[in-house]
Structure formats: C-alpha cells, structure tokens
Chain A
Amino acid sequence: MPDRQAVIDRKDLGALFTLLADEGYQTIGPKPYDGAIVYAPISSPEELPKGIGDEEEGGHYRLTQRGDAKLFGHTKPVQGLKAHLYPARQKLWSAEKAGHGFRVVKDAAPQPRYAFIGVRACELSAMLVQDRVFEGGPYVDKGYAERRKNCLIVLVTCDHAGNACFCASQGTGPDASEGYDLKLAEVVDGSRHVFVTEAGSDKGRAILSKLSKQDAADGDVKAAAANLEAAAKGQKRAMIAGVAELLAAKLESPHWEDVAKRCMSCGNCTMVCPTCFCSTMEDATDLSGLKAERTRKWDSCFSIDYSYIHGGPVRNTAGARYRQWMTHKLSHWVEQFGVSGCVGCGRCIIWCPVGIDITAEAKAILKGA
C-alpha cells in the first residue's frame, strides 16, 4: 500500500531544498540554460523553469511560455542524469614509474551525494536499467554503485507528454511505482499551487516527516491523476508491440541501408540516450614518461574505433552501425539484461540533427516484413 498522500504548498517547497542541503546533498534539478531545460546544480525552487514548457519534434526543440506558474511544466531535460551517475570522463587510476616497473595510485576521492529533484518516470526507469548494467552482473562498477547508493530521488510526474515521448508504450512512465524516495505531482488551480507528495522509501519518509504539509484534498488527488492520464493518453508516438522479436528476425532487412542514407553516424542519439553506456579507455603518459593515467570516456557504437579489432572495424557501414544501435536498444538488450534498453523518453528523436525516429524506423521495418 502506498503511504497516505499529503500536499506541500508551493511556498513550502524551498524547505525541501534547505533540508536536503543540510543533510549533505548536492541538489540537482531542471533549469533553463541556453534555450533548453538541463539538469544542473540548483539551490532553491526559484531556479526552476517557472512557467516554461518545451516543444519537441524530430531534430527540433524550443522552449515555450506556458502562461502559468508551474515549476515542472516541461518534460525531460536535454540530457539525462547519466551525466551525473556515469560521467562522460572518469579517471580510473594513475601510475608512477618505480624502478623497472610501475606503482598504481588509486584515486580515493569520495563519491558525490546527489539529490535529484524533478526526475521523470522515464528517467527513473533508465536508472533502473543502468543499475542492471553496472551492478547486475558479477563485476560491479564500484563508482557507479556508490554514486547510485548515495543519491536521493525526488520524482515528479508529468502533466503532459512531449511530442517525442513514448513511455506509455514501453511501460516505463509517465507514472512510477518504485525506485523513488519522494514522488511529487504538481497541481495548480487558480491561486492554489501544491505538490501532492508520497514517500517511496524510508529515506523519503524521514525527509517528508520534517517538511510542513497538509493532507491532500480530494480535488488535488483527482487533478494529479487527471494530469497523469493526460500524459499517458496524449502520447503521439508509440513503439510497436513485439519489436524485440521483430528486429531479431530482420537483421538482413533492406531498410538498414535506407536509414544509412539519412544517418550521419554522429552519435548524438547514443550520447543523449539515458541507458547507453558504451565507453572507451584512454591511456596517457606525461611527457617525461614517468606518470601514466587511465581514463574512461563515453564512446558510441557509431564510431569506427568502437568496433575496431585486429584487421579493421566490424561495423563498416552506416547501416550496420544503426542496426547495432537499434537492435541492441530494443532487442538483444532484453537477452542481455532482462529488460528493454529503451525507456521511450524520445531524446534520441529530438536530438538527432536530422530527426531520425526510432519508432518510425521500427514501423518501417515491420511494414517491409
């Protein structure tokens, strides 16, 4: 049974930020920046994108004015929280020359403690997917595991879906039933501006107990439910059913070469995808050759080096690279990790400079069957 719902008034939301900061969290939330909403360090609700919405399509994104006071009236930010939990560049260790060999120096810096505010259901689903990737097998990524264990998640449910969203068809949103510490649904009705709040963990309950709140009114709960329903029903895109089996059977489809004409192998889709995790190792020395360092950097299945083995790259054509990306996300990810690698956030569609749409490509492959 979920906990009984309470509401936090808009004017009391600042206390949540203060409390989290007092407990040693670095608060990260959505913020307008350079014509988009991004996740960034924020210290109060005043920095949230008040009254700002977002307009999205394949290869297109603009901020809009909503004409209300909502703080979370946008959808998912440009890049996911992957950039915090699994940074684009991570120094793994360094080494110093010692005699004829070398000595490894471990980097012992403590991992940050993030409180993520305004996390959407698709984002949380993506974290649960990456948990399986980095912590699910016998070899746990210790840095990720520690950052993940340290973090606190304040989920916010969506009041509408963006044009590129398709979480409903992936079963990954717009509502979430587990994995968050607090869940907020923002309700604005005339001068009433409240957050219907629920705790989803002991950490969340402890925080909620220290915040000033009232019992939710019937109208609040109904409005929150209606918003969520609008977000689910209003989705303009959907992933076709049975896509995992379909793609597994279509590895030789002529459609891959059709995508190859449009796809630039630029890697934007993999960079913005909140579940993509491919990386490369970079070993570097200093000029004297006395010190060395190993860094892990995001890479992409669209790069040639990524599939380079003795004798050359395995994926030589743009069609082969796009096929790798799409079939991994939607098909063999399921065999590998037990879930789909796509949470339907639509980021790859929006931030593809030529607007290639993973839902439309899936449909085209189905039609060509």
Chain B
Amino acid sequence: MSAREKPRLGVFKFSSCDGCQLSLLDCELELLAVTDAVEIAYFLEATRKDMKGPFDVVLVEGSITTPHEAELIRQIRKSSKVLITIGACATSGGIQALRNFADVNGFLDIVYARPDYIETLDTATPIADHVQVDFELRGCPINKYQLLEVLNAFLNKRKPNIQNYAECIECKQRGTVCVMVAKGVACLGPVTQAGCGGLCPASHRGCFGCFGPMETPNTTALADRFLNELGQDKGTVLRAFRSFNANAPAFREESLKHE
C-alpha cells in the first residue's frame, strides 16, 4: 500500500493523564504493524508532525472540563470519519468527574491562588455527551490489546471483539480463585465490564471498576453484599463506586445511595 492510500489517524487529548494514548506507544512490536497500516497524522506524544484533518480514524482521550474543550471536540468531530473514545475519562468523565458531586468553585479556591484566571465547567463529562461517538473503549487505563483490536476492526471493517459482560467471566476463564468468595475481599468484578484480563483478582485484590459498569449492572445486589456480608460501612461502599468511573450512570446512582 502506498503512503497516500493509508488511512490517516489522529490522536487527541482532553482532560486526562496521557496514560491511555501512551498505550498506543506501549504496543512496541505491534506498533510497527500499526504504522504500516495507518499514517499517523496527529499524535503529539509520538511526533511533532501537526497535520490538519480530515482524519479517517481519530482516537480521543480525556473528558470535557472547559468551554474551550467543548468547542474543540466539535471541530475534531467535523473533520473525522470515525471517532473512537479511549479510557475512563473519555467514556465516563474520569476521576476528575468527582467535581460533579461537589461545587467546583470550592476546589478552585483551594487549588489556585487566582481562581478568577480559571475558566472551567461545573462538570467533567464524557465525549459522547458532546458529540456522536462511533465506539467507546473503556479502561483506566485501556488495555493495549483491546486498542489494537478496535483499530484493527475499524481498518478491516469488522466488528471489534470487545465484550460488555462482567469482569467475573474473564476472571474465571483465567482460572483465578475468586477473592470475594475465598478471601472475603470486596470486588467490583460482578458489576464491572471485562477488558483488563482479570488483573487485580489475579494479584489477590478486588476489582476497582476501571472498565466501568458492565452491560446489566446490579450494583444494589453487590452493595448489599459489601454491607451485610463483608462488613463494609456506607462510606467504603460510596468510595468503591465513586472512583475512575464515578460519573458512569450506574456507579453514580449507586454511590449517591450511600451518601
């Protein structure tokens, strides 16, 4: 394939930590195959080349927290054929969406010497609240194999093999002994979407919910278990549901019940 025929890829960042876009560089061996398959037209973490759109595929990291970002994402959407959001920030608002549960001016006063210089929104929201998104890839951070799979699927015009069922299914497929049943450790796996490959339970820790709510989350049943059988108090349950995906509707509603 000649360079001119290659699809043009753009990678954009909004309010986020950069971790998800770095997953692309973390692809190491596979990265060569990626650069064979696409022309990287905009990706500040990898190249200073700053080419203008239009783009065939755009990866968007981060949430919308300022009026400037809200405007920029509209421009990017206009110049992109396929827009894929990556990571908890872009798909649910991220950890910075904790501000959605409080008065943002309170934070501004604590953090900045001159809060009047800061122009920010009251909330941190996912990209899909602002523009149409073609695919949302979850995770904090995303799983690089899932990122490759999604890129691969869009390039080859097929459905990405990304599951929306519970983390427990991956955990059992891996042969991990359930930490909740065998150790009494609270685990968000039953209400969290699969995708990480079962990292935390395999390291004897409960799932933290990095991949956000699974397709049919029964958070109430799990919260009841945490409270009644695992001896957790309301504050602990609230914090379990209010982390990287605090603003995802199912987790938000559950955490509000424990305020």
Contact = CB atoms under 8 A, between A and B. Distances in A.
| 7 smallest beta-carbon distances between A and B, as pairs | A271-B172, A266-B190, A88-B173, A303-B165, A266-B166, A266-B168, A264-B190
B181 interface: yes
Nearest to A302: B165
A180 B156 CA distance: 49
A78 interface: yes
Given A287-B152, A289-B155, A263 B218 contact: yes
Contacts, number: 133
A283 interface: yes
B33 A286 contact: yes
Nearest to A261: B221
B130 interface: no
12 contacts: A33-B177, A34-B182, A59-B181, A83-B175, A264-B191, A265-B216, A266-B166, A266-B190, A267-B168, A287-B33, A287-B152, A355-B229
A304 B36 CA distance: 36
A188 interface: no
A285 interface: yes
Given A36-B182, A60-B181, A264-B222, A353 B148 contact: no
A268 B190 CA distance: 9
B131 interface: no
Contacts of A353: 168, 178, 180-181, 187, 189-190, 222, 225
Contacts of A300: 165, 169
Contacts of B191: 264, 266
By size class, the interface of chain B is 35 or more
A288 B36 contact: yes
Contact of B152 (A79, A272, A284): A284
A318 interface: yes
A238 B86 CA distance: 49
A354 interface: yes
Given A263-B221, A266-B189, A318-B218, A61 B165 contact: no
A361 to B, nearest CB: 15
B172 A304 contact: no
B215 A304 contact: yes
Interface in A315-369: 318, 350-351, 353-355
B155 A79 contact: no
Contact of B173 (A62, A297, A350): A297
B161 A304 contact: no
A250 B218 CA distance: 24
Contacts of A354: 190, 221-222, 224-225
A89 interface: yes
Contact of B37 (A263, A264, A287): A287
A89 B152 contact: no
B156 A304 contact: no
A36 B182 CA distance: 7
A266 B175 CA distance: 16
Contacts of A47: none
B253 interface: no
A35 B182 contact: yes
